[in-house]
């Protein structure tokens, strides 16, 4: 299978026609080898226009959604970014191409271990990963310029807003179990401003400030 051709097609048929414009974001999608983040038996679908299953019943998000969330972060290259939901590591790799420091938290240890091996094998040295409940953020490295949550939550986890810098942005899917709105929240001096981007469907964010385990 010629993954390079499939990757080029993914960018030119799924991302650009739907409005992804940021040149650096587009270049990152041309570059990062998405198939390497996907279990071998499912690699034929690596560049398809839908989410693909990974370990622990989780998913790697549809390429367009990864691109849209990345574009919403408006990275300049200097930001410290926190990702909640490492999953396959693909989003973390895209972020690592676009900024200098990436921190990522995953609740499943087996998934995190596998992903750390993949990212190490690909030579990423600016991504720090830990296992834990990402709804608590990562206080040790806070504050963050940007936070991206790649799992669905009924409400904005309070620790994440506290660990966001002023003028920082938080991108997350907010809503019910099977239907959310991709939302961008900006922290202002005197409060928060929120913009709704589009409807989306993510696996649940399970943790103290997300869904409780019984809803997962």
Catalytic residues: 61
Which residue is associated with the tokens 């490295």?
Answer: 141
Stretch near ligand SAM under the rule CB under 6 A, chosen from 3-11, 28-36, 79-87, 176-184: 79-87
At its nearest, how many Å lie between ligand SAM and the CB of residue 50?
12
| Distance, CA of 49 to CA of 63 (rounded, Å) | 7
Interaction of residue 58 with ligand SAM, rule CB under 6 A: yes
At its nearest, how many Å lie between ligand SAM and the CB of residue 156?
13
Interaction of residue 60 with ligand SAM, rule CB under 6 A: yes
Interaction of residue 207 with ligand SAM, rule CB under 6 A: yes
Contact with ligand SAM (CB under 6 A) among 59, 62, 126, 161: 59
Q: What's 62's DSSP letter?
A: P
Candidates 110, 119, 117, 113; CA nearest to 91 is 119
Contact with ligand SAM (CB under 6 A) among 14, 135, 180, 183: 135
At its nearest, how many Å lie between ligand SAM and the CB of residue 39?
12
39, exposed or middle or buried, with CB in 10 Å at 0-12, 13-18, 19+? middle
Nearer to ligand SAM, 63 or 168 (CB): 63
Q: Which residues contact 147 (CB under 8 A, 6 or more apart)?
A: 81, 82, 83, 84, 137, 160, 163, 164, 168, 169, 170, 171, 172
Stretch near ligand SAM under the rule CB under 6 A, chosen from 2-10, 95-103, 107-115, 185-193: 107-115
Interaction of residue 202 with ligand SAM, rule CB under 6 A: yes
Contact with ligand SAM (CB under 6 A) among 102, 185, 200, 205: 205
Contact with ligand SAM (CB under 6 A) among 29, 103, 108, 144: 108
Could you count the other beta carbons within 10 Å of the beta carbon of residue 181?
Answer: 16
Secondary structure element (H or E) that encloses residue 7, with its range: helix 3-9
Q: SS3 for 155-182, per residue? A: CCCHHHHHCEEEEEEEEEEEEECCEEEE
| Distance, CA of 94 to CA of 115 (rounded, Å) | 14
Residues interacting with ligand SAM, by CB under 6 A?
Answer: 58-61, 84-85, 87-88, 90-91, 105-108, 111, 133-135, 150-151, 202-203, 205-207, 210
């Amino acid at each position: 299978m010629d993954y390079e051709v499939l990757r080029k097609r993914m960018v030119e048929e799924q991302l650009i026609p739907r409005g992804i414009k940021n040149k650096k974001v587009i270049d990152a999608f041309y570059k990062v080898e998405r198939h390497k983040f996907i279990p071998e038996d499912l690699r034929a679908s690596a560049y398809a226009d839908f989410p693909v299953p990974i370990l622990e019943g989780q998913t790697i998000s549809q390429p367009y959604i990864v691109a849209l969330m990345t574009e919403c972060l408006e990275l300049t290259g200097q930001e410290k970014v926190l990702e909640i939901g490492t999953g396959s590591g693909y989003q973390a790799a895209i972020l690592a191409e676009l900024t200098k420091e990436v921190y990522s938290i995953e609740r499943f240890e087996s998934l995190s271990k596998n992903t750390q091996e993949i990212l190490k094998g690909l030579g990423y040295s600016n991504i720090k990963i830990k296992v834990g409940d990402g709804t608590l953020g990562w206080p040790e490295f806070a504050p963050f310029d940007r936070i991206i949550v790649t799992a669905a939550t009924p409400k904005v986890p309070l620790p994440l807003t506290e660990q966001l810098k002023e003028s920082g942005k938080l991108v997350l899917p907010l809503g019910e179990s099977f239907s959310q709105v991709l939302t961008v929240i900006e922290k202002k001096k005197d409060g928060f401003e929120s913009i709704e981007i589009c409807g989306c469907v993510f696996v649940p964010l399970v943790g103290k400030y997300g869904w409780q385990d019984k809803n997962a």
